[in-house]
């Protein structure tokens, strides 16, 4: 059976949980809150809901049948496990400035990622960062984006931990067991792949830690949301 483009799973789950008629009302309140935040320095963080901000989203390729099935399986599995996200790592709209809209800022010390929604507001997501000695700072750009991406450990990873990574030297297809999770945003320096990724994870308990091989992990539902907002060639600043 041919599947049409899958509606954002996480957004659908969030919307379905709202009382009838409250989605539009909440959207209006949040829009007003964002506008107020730009002039009110005492404004508290704005409650976040998937899909309400950034009307100018990129046009995404339709998901394949296999990708849509993975999204559905993951959503079903996540619902059964009922993993609780710590409040400080949940998506939140906050005051943030100094970068143009559409920019991603990765704060490795705070273990937070910011996506600029306006000149003065950003969506903040919790992340996992690289282990000590495996961190990178500087400016990069979004060079590619993939849904349920294939993963191949780097040569350096295999050399550091051959027992863990050598068996995957030829790569692993995307799926629920793949460590890159539901989506991956590939970071480039010019035309060169840095091999750094902003990606989902099948280990959500690592969010908020320094435990990766240099990449930036996000909860799957969060990286799906970010993936649908960020555009190709967007600037990514790693602090």
What is the rounded distance in angstroms from the CA atom of residue 158 to the CA atom of residue 112?
28
Whole-angstrom distance, CA of residue 78 vs CA of residue 138: 34
- pTM, rounded to two decimals: 0.75
b/e sequence 175-197, b meaning 16+ C-beta within 10 Å:
beebbbbbbbbbbbeeeeebbbb
Angle 117-124-137 (CA atoms, 0-180°, nearest 5)?
Answer: 95
pLDDT at res. 157: 80
| pLDDT in the model for residue 58 | 83
pLDDT for res 211: 83
Between the alpha carbon of residue 236 and those of residues 18, 35, 129, 138, 140, the distances in Å are 33, 25, 15, 8, 5
**Each residue's pLDDT expressed in tens, for the chain with a length of 239 residues:** 343 333 343 443 443 333 333 333 434 444 444 444 444 444 445 555 565 555 467 888 889 999 999 999 988 888 887 677 888 899 999 999 999 999 999 999 999 999 999 999 999 999 999 776 567 889 999 999 999 998 777 788 888 888 777 776 777 787 888 889 999 999 999 999 999 999 999 888 899 988 877 789 999 999 999 999 999 999 999 99
What the chain holds in terms of domains, given with CATH numbers, is 9-238 (2.40.440.10)
The predicted structure's pLDDT at residue 41:
41
Task: Single out the catalytic residue among 8, 215, 219, 222.
Answer: 215
- Among the listed residues 8, 199, 219, 222, the single catalytic one is 199
Examine the residue annotation and report whether 215 is marked as an active-site residue of this protein: yes
């Amino acid at each position: 059976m041919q599947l049409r483009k899958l509606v954002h799973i996480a957004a659908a789950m969030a919307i379905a949980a709202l009382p009838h008629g409250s989605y539009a009302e909440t959207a209006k309140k949040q829009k007003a809150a964002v506008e107020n935040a730009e002039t009110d320095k005492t404004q508290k963080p704005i409650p976040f809901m998937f899909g309400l901000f950034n009307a100018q989203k990129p046009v995404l390729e339709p998901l394949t049948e296999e990708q849509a099935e993975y999204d559905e399986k993951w959503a079903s599995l996540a619902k059964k496990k009922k993993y609780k996200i710590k409040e400080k790592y949940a998506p939140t709209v906050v005051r943030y400035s100094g970068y143009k809209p559409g920019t991603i800022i990765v704060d490795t010390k705070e273990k937070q990622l910011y996506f600029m929604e306006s000149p003065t507001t950003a969506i903040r997501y919790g992340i996992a960062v690289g282990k000590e000695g495996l961190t990178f700072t500087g400016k990069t750009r979004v060079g590619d984006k993939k849904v349920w991406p294939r993963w191949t450990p780097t040569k350096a990873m295999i050399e550091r931990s051959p027992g863990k990574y050598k068996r995957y030297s030829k790569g692993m297809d995307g799926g629920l067991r793949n460590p890159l999770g539901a989506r991956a945003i590939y970071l480039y320096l010019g035309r060169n792949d840095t091999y750094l990724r902003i990606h989902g994870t099948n280990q959500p308990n690592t969010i908020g830690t320094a435990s990766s091989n240099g990449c930036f992990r996000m909860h799957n539902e969060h990286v799906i949301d970010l993936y649908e907002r960020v555009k190709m060639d967007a600037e990514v600043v790693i602090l």
